[in-house]
């Protein structure tokens, strides 16, 4: 295919940054706020933000079941930070009424890295991405507590002094056409993660 149409769930979070990165990777962008817009896209990015707020807004905008269905039917999806939480099968430390979109057979811990003031950056090796380590920006980020054998672990936090209890934790995964990172590649100007996802969208088409 030529330029795939990739949607970004535009209910809350850093939508413009993802749109800019997708455009640099040869994809067309569509803001997704209603089911009709969702039905037109070849893949969907679920951005960072606040996962419980995004969960509630999916209900408000009547998008929860449509997104779940498209993901279950094989639509490629990429989630960063809060997007990883929403794509997970199970969440620890979430709200009892928080909705999950599924698609990744993982258990994540919400706000695992601590509060906003505990946000940090670190270089991580990311499987499937050439060109050396990726600068990972963690902002009130989750990490993956456990993953099924069907999930490919793409990155873990390196064993460096500043990592503390996060050292060795899983922060990027892939399962089929679903991709998730605990960090925010859209904030660094490095488009390699988005390029990987656009390639996944093309392959699925």
Active-site residue, from 17, 99, 122, 184: 184
Active site residue 25: no
Strands annotated E in the chain: 5-9, 28-32, 43-46, 77-80, 88-92, 104-109, 120-124, 134-138, 143-147, 152-156, 170-175, 178-181
What token pair was written down for 72? Answer: 């279950």
CA distance 71 to 60: 19
Catalytic residue flag (residue 65): no
Residues 6+ positions from 50 with CB-CB distance below 8 Å = 12, 13, 82
The number of beta carbons lying within 10 Å of the beta carbon of residue 40 is 10
Which listed residue (18, 25, 81, 122) is catalytic? 81
The answer to whether 109 touches 92, Cβ cutoff 8 Å, is yes
Rounded to 5°, the CA angle 128-81-37 comes to 90
From 17, 25, 99, 186, the catalytic residue: 186
Is 24 annotated in the active site? no
Catalytic residues: 81, 184, 186
């Amino acid at each position: 295919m030529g330029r795939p149409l990739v949607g970004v769930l535009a209910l809350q979070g850093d939508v413009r940054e993802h749109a800019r990165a997708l455009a640099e990777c040869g994809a067309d962008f569509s803001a997704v706020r209603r089911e009709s817009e969702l039905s037109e896209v070849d893949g969907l990015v679920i951005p960072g933000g606040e996962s419980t707020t995004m969960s509630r807004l999916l209900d408000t905008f009547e998008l929860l079941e449509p997104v779940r269905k498209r993901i279950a039917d094989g639509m490629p999806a990429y989630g960063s930070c809060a997007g990883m939480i929403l794509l997970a099968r199970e969440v620890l430390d979430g709200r009892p009424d928080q909705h999950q979109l599924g698609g990744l057979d993982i258990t994540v811990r919400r706000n695992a890295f601590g509060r906003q003031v505990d946000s940090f950056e670190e270089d991580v090796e990311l499987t499937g991405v050439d060109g050396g380590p990726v600068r990972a920006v963690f902002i009130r980020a989750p990490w993956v507590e456990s993953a099924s054998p069907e999930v490919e672990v793409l990155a873990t936090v390196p064993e460096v002094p500043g990592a503390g209890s996060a050292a060795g934790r899983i922060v990027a995964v892939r399962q089929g056409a679903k991709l998730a990172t605990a960090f925010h590649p859209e904030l660094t100007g490095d488009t390699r993660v988005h390029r990987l996802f656009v390639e996944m969208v093309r392959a699925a088409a």
